[in-house]
Structure formats: structure tokens, C-alpha cells
């Protein structure tokens, strides 16, 4: 066992998988010699050589197209999009091509590609770096979307993602990269995709979150308990496509109230999908409408406004109070 | 990786190549030769001709079927038979082929069944699935996206030290797309065994090449990426065949990618939904290009070499008619799809929500209230 930050856990998982499976290739912008702009791939090129860990030209569509071609030949590419805000450049390659490879070829060719990408607010990056765009891929059949919130989960989920027979988008929240350490076993373990984690038990309301918002939700829950004596159950979704509705419903049956916390803008994203699924699967267990604690439907703001825009524990707390009063 | 002296040699070849701006010709419009064709066997020449005649008959039949409402929208390739057939014949079974949606003459040479092509244009996904023993990927519908896939597949072949190349088929319009440039750039940087085969057929739907780019030719784009570029007469089966053979040999010898521009012409509409008289003097251009017809000149040459006779022609026409009819019968008599197949192959294993949706569909189809 070792204490690791999330970025160390990710490097460690890539290292394990490069060693275990020679079909795994790691590539992208600055991932080779430089070890990635966040050092997620540090030391991997020295260890596995420039044929397995390599720098590509600066072209996101090219990187994912390359991955698709490698995947149909049986490789397990793990390309990096340097910041997820740049994913629009590769949108057709992901949603139009990668996600449909299995379907269009009747399973003869598949695309077991894991796209790693940093995203997320609160670290005052320049424009187009921090956007939460996972919702776009919740509406993309053929793709899975994974967002870990802890170092332990990051390793287990990344190993599952690389071994998954289908394309996975693996989103790494920048604020969580080095914000805390956790015990991470050095041996091989996986966490199944599509299975949520109840990270705090409670009986008065359910808070559903993922990525950095899990920690915001936990802070709000502690505060709620201290101030009001009310206990929120917090669910870390871990995978936003597919969404683990079973865990959510089981919790709502107990709490009868729910708040979804999401770092992405409010409309038509993962949170909206979660609310729709709760509506279909648990409406008779609800005492109040499900509320969303999200930023407004504006363009992701510039750095000076960012902290005001992002959901805070205080905002989640207010939303919890509201859901109790309805 | 490529040795430096090989690279220098290659650069010299590029600098010397006349083929970047002028078309390379081997078989002239009157059926005589512009150069030696000793490297192309008579059997290959006759096979080319047979494939091209079949392709044209198939293409015309497909248009007729669309007009009769028996298949859906179809993208015809008449005029481009030499470019497609000869390029495909220069490939090997282990090669990875990434066609566009107009390249059925090529894919049929490689073993795609004509009935499957009709099925694709009837709205059946089975129609784009690769024949066994070949690697033909589904046509990419957004333009140029598949050019990058060929680069990835080529990386894989080289990584495993396999004697295989990848080839991407695309048109002149595709050369305006970012993915085309990214693909040439990646392939150039990594010296990958890939052939970029562009059929410059003059028009991207209604937009002529002069509006597509200020480049005089497509082949000249190779200079910018420091890869080999070749411009050939795309209606000259021998020139196309040799260009692809040579590109393949270079790729297998570690000399990297080749951009081939095959200059040809789309005699008909972009698709059966398109009306070319809206954007060009259709009668005049067709008359002009008929003089450069790829099939007529090959027949003249074969006849001059006593490789082909009127009797052979009559027999071939009969065979072609029967083969086209058999394909039509097969495609049109196939049972309608099991609608539930829409749920197949989305993921290796359907996630819970998709499994539930499938069950919901099944129950609604059986008339059970959901």
C-alpha cells in the first residue's frame, strides 16, 4: 500500500497496464518525453519506449482517428486529449466514428479505446480548459463515460476502462489531481464501470454527484448534519454513461428526497438524465421534486468569476434545505 | 524508422517527380501506350477490363433500381472505373482498405458482394460489412474522417512488422477537410505504410475543384508534408495500377506514405438525389470526358494486343448481365431485417438501460402494454 495523489494513481494504473498488456499504447500531445502537462505519463516513455508511449502532432481529431485505426487492428490505445475543452476538435472522431465502429461492422471490428482527459473547474485555467462536457457523451450510444473522485477509484476505474471492450471517456478532474492523498494498493484491482458508490450514508435526502462535486456534496452533508441534525446520503456516481439507477433508487426509497449536484451547466446533461430516470423509476417514493444544484446555463466563465459560478457546499446546503421544505 | 540516406533519396525523388503537376499517362485515349507496361501481365490487364465492364453495368443498374424505387439513394461512380478497379487490384488481401461511399467498384474487386452494395443503399447495415479474408472498413460518411483511420491501421501494421499497408479512398472535396491534412501530417511524421488515394473527379457535389482549393493539383500537397506525391491519369488503368503498386512497395520498404491523385471525372450525378445540370453544362462535360473513357481505351489496347475479341466481348456482356441480375435478385429477395437488430452491437454487452429499452421494445412489439 502507498499513499498516492490521483495523478500518481493514474500514472501507476497506466504503468501496470502497459506492463501487463502489450496491446496498450499511450499517446497524445506532450505525453512522451515531457510526461504529460500534468505528469500523468511521467517516466512511461523511458520505461516502455517510444513505440508504445509517444508524442503525436498537435491535432485532437488526428489523435482519436489514429486510435480508431489502431483499435480495429487489435490494439488498446489510451490517447490523451490534453484538456477536455479541446474535445470539440475530435467530436466526429469520437461520436461519429469511434462510438459506432462495433455497430457498423457488426462486431467484426471494435474500438476498445480509453480517452483520458483532464477537465474541471476551480483551478483557474485559461479559457476552454475546464468545461464539463460529459453530458455530450451521455447522449452518445456506444461510449461509456467515467469520472473518478478519488485516487483509489481512479486506479481501479482506469484499469477497468482500458480492459473494457468498448470506447471509454475517462475524465480526470484537475482540482482532484493533487488535492489529497489516499491509500492505493499497488497490486492489480478493478472497480466495475457503471456501478455507483454510496460514500456517505444518511436517511433524510440523497445527494447524487460525480467528480469534484462529490467532495462539495460531502462537505455540504457534514455541515447539514452539524447545523440541522439532518443526514444526507451521498452517492458518487463514478460512471455517468451508463448511470447506476439501481443504487440511486435504493437510496431514494430510504430518503424520499434527492438533489443532483453537477459541475456542468444545468440543461440537458447528466443531471437532467438522472432526474428523468428517477422520475421513471422512483417517483412514488418521492416526497418532493428532485432538485438540481448546478451552475447556470451560461458559457463557462473566465477565471475571476469561476468560483462564484461553480456549485459550492453552501449552495448545495441551500438546495438541501429547499428540498426538505417542499 | 527510415534510414537517413533513404530519406534523402526520397526527397530527391520528390523534387524530380514530374507527377506532382502533370498527369502520368501509360494508356492513351486511342488505346496506344505512352510508355512500357512490361510490369503488368496480360492476365491482369484482362481482369481489369472484366472488372470495369462489370462495375459499369452494375452502376447503371443501381441507378435504374433507385429510379424504380427498389433501392434508396445511390452514389454512382461511372467514369471512375479505372481509378477504382486498378487501385484495388494493386492491393493484397492483408491490406486494410478504407473506402468512401462511392467506391463500390473498388470494394467489389476486393470481394464485397454486389448484392451487399445494393443492400447498403437499401438501408441495410449488413451491406457495409467486410467480406471474410479481407479488411474493408465501412465507408466513412462524413468526409475525410476515415483517412485518419488508415493512418492508425498503418501504424498497427508497422508496429507488428507485418507486410501490409492501409489505403484510404477519398475525393477532391475531402482534401479541404482538416482530417485529410492531419492524416498526411501524422503519416509523414511517423513514415507510415499508408496510401492516400484521391480520386479527383472534378466536383464535390456542385463545387468544382477550382473552388475547393487554390492548389493547382492535389498531388502537390505532398510537398508540404514531405511525402511522395503522384498525379496520374485516373482514367488510365495501367497508370493507376502502377502508381498504387509502387506506393505499396515503397510503404513496405519503410519509405512512408504516398499521396496519389487520380484525375478522373464523375460522369453522372453526385447521388441519385442530385441534379448536375444545376451546376454544370452536363452535356458538354460528359461529351468531353467520353473521349477519355477508361473502359473504351482499355478495350482498344487489349484488342490491339489480341488479348480481346468481339466474341470475348459478347460472352463477357452475357456474364455481366447474369451477374448483375443475380445480385439484384439476391438483394431484393432477402427477408426484411429483424427490427430488433437495432439493439445489436451497440456495446459488447448492453448496459442495463439499453437492455431495458430492448425489453420494452420487445414487449410493445408483442402488443403487451409497457
Q: Residues of chain B with pLDDT > 90: what percent?
A: 91
Examine the domain organization and report whether B305 and B359 are in the same domain: no
> How far apart (Å, rounded) are the C-alpha atoms in residues A38 and A9?
13
Examine the domain organization and report whether B116 and B223 are in the same domain: yes
pLDDT bracket for residue B1 (50, 70, 90)? very low
Helix B81-89 crosses helix B42-67 at what angle (to 10 degrees)? 130
Q: Which of B138, B146, B352 sits opposite A105 (nearest CB)?
A: B138
Query: Which residues in B lie closer than 8 A to residue A142 (C-beta atoms)?
Result: 346-347
Q: How far is CA B96 from the centre of its chain?
A: 12
Q: What is the DSSP letter of B273?
A: T
Examine the domain organization and report whether B326 and B247 are in the same domain: yes
Is pLDDT of B370 > 60?
A: no
Is pLDDT of B367 > 90?
A: no
**Per-residue pLDDT reduced to its tens digit, B260-290:** 999 999 999 999 999 999 999 999 999 999 9
Examine the domain organization and report whether B174 and B313 are in the same domain: yes
A207 bridge partner residues: A234, A259
Q: Which of B129, B152, B353 sits opposite A70 (nearest CB)?
A: B152
Pairwise CB contact (< 8 Å): B129 & A106: yes
Q: Which of B125, B148, B351 sits opposite A62 (nearest CB)?
A: B148
Q: What is the pLDDT of residue B12?
A: 59
Query: Which residues in B lie closer than 8 A to residue A102 (C-beta atoms)?
Result: 345-348
pLDDT bracket for residue B140 (50, 70, 90)? confident
Examine the domain organization and report whether B233 and B302 are in the same domain: yes
Q: Which three cell numbers stand for residue A159?
A: 484499469
> How far apart (Å, rounded) are the C-alpha atoms in residues A51 and A69?
16
**How many residues in total does chain B contain?**
370
Examine the domain organization and report whether B221 and B298 are in the same domain: yes
Q: What is the DSSP letter of B140?
A: P
Number of domains in chain B: 2
Examine the domain organization and report whether B219 and B291 are in the same domain: yes
- Name residue, grid cell 534510414: B3
Q: How far is B259 from chain A (nearest CA, A)?
A: 17
Examine the domain organization and report whether B232 and B352 are in the same domain: no
Examine the domain organization and report whether B358 and B307 are in the same domain: no
**Per-residue pLDDT reduced to its tens digit, A63-96:** 999 999 999 999 999 999 999 999 999 999 999 9
Average pLDDT, integer, range B97-108: 97
Q: How far is A177 from chain B (nearest CA, A)?
A: 29
Question: CB A321: neighbour CB atoms within 10 A?
Answer: 14
Radius of gyration of chain A (CA): 19
Is pLDDT of B202 > 80?
A: yes
Q: Which of B126, B138, B156 sits opposite A69 (nearest CB)?
A: B156
Examine the domain organization and report whether B226 and B120 are in the same domain: yes
Q: What is the pLDDT of residue B369?
A: 63
- Per the annotation, the verdict on A285 as an active-site residue is no
Q: What is the pLDDT of residue B368?
A: 72
Q: What is the pLDDT of residue B13?
A: 63
Pairwise CB contact (< 8 Å): B142 & A66: no
Is pLDDT of B95 > 60?
A: yes
> How far apart (Å, rounded) are the C-alpha atoms in residues B185 and B182?
5
Examine the domain organization and report whether B297 and B196 are in the same domain: yes
Pairwise CB contact (< 8 Å): B152 & A57: no
Is pLDDT of B339 > 60?
A: yes
CATH number at residue B270: 3.40.50.970
User: CA of B129: which chain A residue's CA is closest?
Assistant: A105
Q: What is the pLDDT of residue A226?
A: 98
Is pLDDT of B2 > 60?
A: no
Q: How far is B186 from chain A (nearest CA, A)?
A: 7
Which residue positions in chain A have pLDDT lower than 70?
none
Which of A21, A73, A108, A143 to mutate to test binding with chain B, by most B CBs within 10 Å of its CB? A73
**Per-residue pLDDT reduced to its tens digit, B118-135:** 999 999 998 999 999 999
> Which residues constitute the domain of residue B6?
2-336
Examine the domain organization and report whether B151 and B173 are in the same domain: yes
Amino acid at each position: 500500500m502507498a499513499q498516492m495523489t490521483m495523478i500518481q494513481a493514474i500514472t501507476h494504473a497506466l504503468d501496470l497496464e502497459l506492463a501487463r498488456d502489450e496491446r496498450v499504447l499511450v499517446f497524445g500531445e506532450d505525453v512522451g518525453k515531457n510526461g504529460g502537462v500534468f505528469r500523468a505519463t511521467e517516466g512511461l516513455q523511458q520505461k516502455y519506449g517510444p513505440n508504445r508511449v509517444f508524442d503525436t502532432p498537435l491535432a485532437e481529431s488526428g489523435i482519436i482517428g489514429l486510435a480508431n485505426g489502431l483499435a480495429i487492428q487489435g490494439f488498446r490505445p489510451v490517447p490523451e486529449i490534453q484538456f477536455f475543452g479541446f474535445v470539440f476538435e475530435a467530436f466526429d472522431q469520437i461520436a461519429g466514428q469511434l462510438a459506432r465502429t462495433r455497430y457498423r461492422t457488426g462486431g467484426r471490428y471494435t474500438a476498445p479505446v480509453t480517452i483520458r482527459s483532464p477537465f474541471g473547474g476551480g483551478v483557474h485555467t485559461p479559457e476552454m480548459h475546464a468545461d464539463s462536457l460529459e453530458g455530450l457523451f451521455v447522449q452518445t450510444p456506444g461510449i461509456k463515460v467515467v469520472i473518478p473522485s478519488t485516487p483509489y477509484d481512479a486506479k481501479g476505474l482506469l484499469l477497468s476502462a482500458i480492459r473494457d471492450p468498448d470506447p471509454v471517456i475517462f475524465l480526470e478532474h484537475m482540482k482532484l489531481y493533487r488535492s489529497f492523498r489516499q491509500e492505493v494498493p499497488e497490486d492489480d484491482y478493478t472497480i466495475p464501470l457503471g456501478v455507483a458508490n454510496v460514500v456517505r450514508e444518511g436517511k433524510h435526502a440523497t445527494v447524487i454527484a460525480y467528480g469534484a462535486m462529490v467532495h462539495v456534496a460531502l462537505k455540504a452533508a457534514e455541515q447539514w448534519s452539524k447545523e440541522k441534525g439532518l443526514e444526507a446520503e451521498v452517492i458518487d456516481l463514478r460512471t455517468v454513461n451508463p448511470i447506476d439507477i439501481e443504487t440511486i433508487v435504493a437510496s431514494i426509497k430510504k430518503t424520499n428526497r434527492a438533489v443532483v449536484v453537477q459541475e456542468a451547466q444545468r440543461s440537458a446533461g447528466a443531471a437532467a438524465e438522472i432526474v428523468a430516470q428517477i422520475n421513471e423509476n422512483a417517483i412514488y417514493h418521492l416526497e418532493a421534486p428532485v432538485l438540481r444544484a448546478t451552475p447556470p446555463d451560461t458559457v463557462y466563465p473566465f477565471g475571476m468569476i469561476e468560483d462564484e459560478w461553480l456549485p459550492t457546499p453552501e449552495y448545495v446546503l441551500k438546495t438541501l434545505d429547499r428540498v426538505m421544505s417542499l | 524508422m527510415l534510414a537517413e540516406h533513404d530519406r534523402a533519396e526520397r526527397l530527391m525523388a520528390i523534387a524530380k517527380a514530374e507527377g506532382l503537376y502533370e498527369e502520368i499517362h501509360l494508356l492513351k485515349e486511342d488505346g496506344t501506350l505512352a510508355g512500357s507496361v512490361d510490369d503488368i501481365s496480360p492476365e491482369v490487364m484482362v481482369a481489369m477490363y472484366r472488372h470495369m465492364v462489370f462495375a459499369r453495368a452494375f452502376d447503371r443498374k443501381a441507378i435504374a433500381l433507385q429510379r424504380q424505387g427498389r433501392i434508396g439513394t445511390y452514389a454512382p461512380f461511372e467514369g471512375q472505373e479505372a481509378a477504382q478497379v486498378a487501385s484495388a487490384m494493386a492491393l493484397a488481401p492483408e491490406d486494410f482498405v478504407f473506402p468512401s461511399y462511392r467506391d463500390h467498384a473498388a470494394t467489389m474487386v476486393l470481394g464485397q458482394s454486389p448484392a451487399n452494395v445494393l443492400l447498403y443503399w437499401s438501408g441495410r447495415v449488413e451491406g457495409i460489412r467486410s467480406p471474410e479474408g479481407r479488411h474493408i472498413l465501412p465507408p466513412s460518411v462524413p468526409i475525410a474522417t476515415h483517412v485518419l483511420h488508415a493512418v492508425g491501421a498503418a501504424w498497427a501494421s508497422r508496429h507488428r512488422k507485418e507486410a501490409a499497408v492501409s489505403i484510404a479512398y477519398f475525393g477532391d472535396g475531402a482534401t479541404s477537410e482538416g482530417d485529410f491534412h492531419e492524416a498526411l501530417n501524422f503519416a509523414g511524421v511517423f513514415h507510415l505504410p499508408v496510401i492516400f488515394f484521391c480520386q479527383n473527379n472534378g466536383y464535390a457535389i456542385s463545387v468544382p475543384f477550382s473552388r475547393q482549393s487554390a492548389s493547382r493539383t492535389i498531388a502537390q500537397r505532398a510537398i508540404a508534408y514531405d511525402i511522395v506525391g503522384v498525379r496520374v491519369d485516373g482514367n488510365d488503368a495501367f497508370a493507376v495500377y502502377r502508381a498504387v503498386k509502387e506506393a505499396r512497395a515503397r510503404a513496405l520498404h519503410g519509405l512512408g506514405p504516398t499521396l496519389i491523385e487520380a484525375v478522373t471525372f464523375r460522369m453522372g450525378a453526385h447521388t441519385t438525389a442530385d441534379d448536375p445540370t444545376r451546376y454544370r453544362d452536363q452535356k458538354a462535360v460528359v461529351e468531353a470526358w467520353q473521349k477519355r473513357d477508361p473502359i473504351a481505351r482499355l478495350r482498344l489496347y487489349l484488342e490491339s494486343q489480341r488479348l480481346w475479341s468481339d466474341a470475348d466481348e459478347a460472352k463477357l456482356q452475357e456474364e455481366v448481365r447474369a451477374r448483375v441480375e443475380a445480385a439484384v435478385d439476391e438483394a431484393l429477395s432477402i427477408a426484411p431485417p429483424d427490427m430488433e437488430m437495432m439493439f445489436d452491437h451497440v456495446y459488447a454487452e448492453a448496459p442495463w438501460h439499453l437492455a431495458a429499452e430492448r425489453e420494452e421494445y420487445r414487449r410493445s412489439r408483442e402488443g403487451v402494454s409497457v
